[in-house]
Amino acid sequence: MTMPVLRLFGPARQSAGVARIDLPGRDVSEVLAAAERQFGLPFTEVLAVSRVWVNGESADAHLALAPDDEVAVLPPVSGG
pLDDT in tens, 16-42: 999 999 999 999 999 999 999 999 999
DSSP structure class, residue 38: H
Average pLDDT, stretch 1-11?
A: 87
Q: How many domains does the chain have?
A: 1
* pLDDT per position as a tens digit, 43-57: 999 999 999 999 999
Environment class of residue 78 by beta-carbon count within 10 Å: exposed (0-12), middle (13-18) or buried (19+)? exposed
Give the CATH number of the domain where residue 22 resides. Answer: 3.10.20.30
Position 18 in a domain = yes
Position 80 in a domain = no
- The per-residue pLDDT for 80 is 52
Domain span holding position 11: 5-74
